[in-house]
Amino acid sequence: MGPLDGLKVVELAAVGPGPHAGMYLADLGADIVRIDRLGGEQIGRPDASDPMLRGRRRVDADLKTDEGRATLRALVEHADVLLEGYRPGVVERLGVGPDELLAVNPRLVYARATGWGREGPLADRGGHDLNYLSLTGALHALGAADACPPPPLNMVGDYGGGSMLLLTGVLAGLWHAARTGRGQVVDAAMIDGVVGLSQKVWSLLAQDRWVDARESNVIDGHAPYYRTYRCADGGFMAVAAIERKFYAQLLDGLGLDPADVPDRDDRHAWGRLAARFEEVFATRPRPEWEAVFADLDACTTPVLSWSEAPHHPQIAARGSIVHAHGAHQAGPAPRFSATPPALPAPMADPIPLDHVLAGWAP
């Protein structure tokens, strides 16, 4: 049993941050019931084989019907948290918005995830991870200076900026409810989350230590000691030897004498220094470089594929990626000393409402 054992959560089926946040809550021991129908259409991937949906029980309810709304209200009456991820106005039109559900359960933490937020000219527009990065400055900083900014998968907006912010709001809301007896609405917008994740850059800008152009700063690929290099076999090594002690071991691993390479503190020489590193890395395949740096504290690591990552000794030792129920998936995190979470079972088949209420009702 995890640290959230006994927490009762209702999740309205959606895509993006809601299911991801639900996975974390389920991993930590929360009892989550997912309502898989909105207006009679399946939303997201209500497929028991999807590891992100692990640890849920399911109840079917068409929220466009009186019966479906009654089902939701019956669950909410005993729940601690509701997760909702629809466009602004959708649940209000259905009659199951925050006002209605907080009237049913004043202690409820009504946690909403949106892309653009609930105010502003784009509030009712669609969007995806790439859009939220594009308007917040984050996308502008990614990629090579002479190429289009690359989509960084959907990790930054949907999950880093979305579900992690939503989880923070849920836990803060629960703390407030425990002390005051009053629930509230948590409004987690992905654009807010992306900006929050970008605070380091905003701080550097405030200190005149960031150049607002791609490949112009230490951590955006401009510095030769913080970037990736191609190996002889087409694989890559990631170099993050920012501190001098790590940089010294990087040179040692590459077999380079500090006196024979440009000064790392001379930004005008970074191009020549990077070219020298490129030349050396290109002489050997990635596995050989991996072996060279295995025992050096040089912040230099292989760039592993999705199929390789689960087998790396560090990943395996932590159980960061586990193989369970026929698939590789993220292991439960974070870890707790007194209440270690366990990997939940796959999402269950739909069950009758009264089966849930039998365990939830006082």
User: Tens digit of pLDDT for each residue in 288-339?
Assistant: 999 999 999 999 999 999 999 999 999 999 999 999 999 999 999 999 999 9
Rg (the chain; Cα; Å):
24
Cα 268 to Cα 262: distance, rounded to the nearest angstrom: 10
pLDDT at 242 > cutoff 90: yes
Q: Average pLDDT over the chain, rounded to whole?
A: 94
CA–CA separation, 171 vs 98, rounded Å?
18
Assess contact for 118 and 188: CB atoms under 8 A: no
Active site residue 297: no
What does the pLDDT read at residue 125? Answer: 93
Burial 305-334 (b: 16+ CB within 10 A, else e): eeeeeeebeebeeeeebbeeeeeebbbbee
Question: Is the pLDDT reported for residue 39 higher than 80?
Answer: no
Rounded mean pLDDT, 34-59: 74
Q: Is the pLDDT at 202 greater than 60, yes or no?
A: yes
Instruction: Tell me, yes or no, if 158 is annotated catalytic.
Output: yes
Catalytic position from the list 78, 128, 176, 328: 128
Query: What's the pTM?
Result: 0.94
- Please say if the pLDDT value at position 9 is more than 90: yes
The pLDDT tens digits of the residues spanning 111-153 come to 999 999 999 999 999 999 999 999 999 999 999 999 999 999 9
Indicate if the pLDDT at residue 45 is higher than 50.
no
Select which of 80, 129, 158, 187 is catalytic. 158
d(Cα 189, Cα 119) in Å, to the nearest integer?
A: 10
The SS3 call for residue 166 is helix
Average pLDDT over residues 189-210: 97
pLDDT at 340: 84
Give Cα 97 distance to the centre of its chain.
26
pLDDT at 46 over 70: no
Does residue 343 sit in helix, strand or coil?
coil
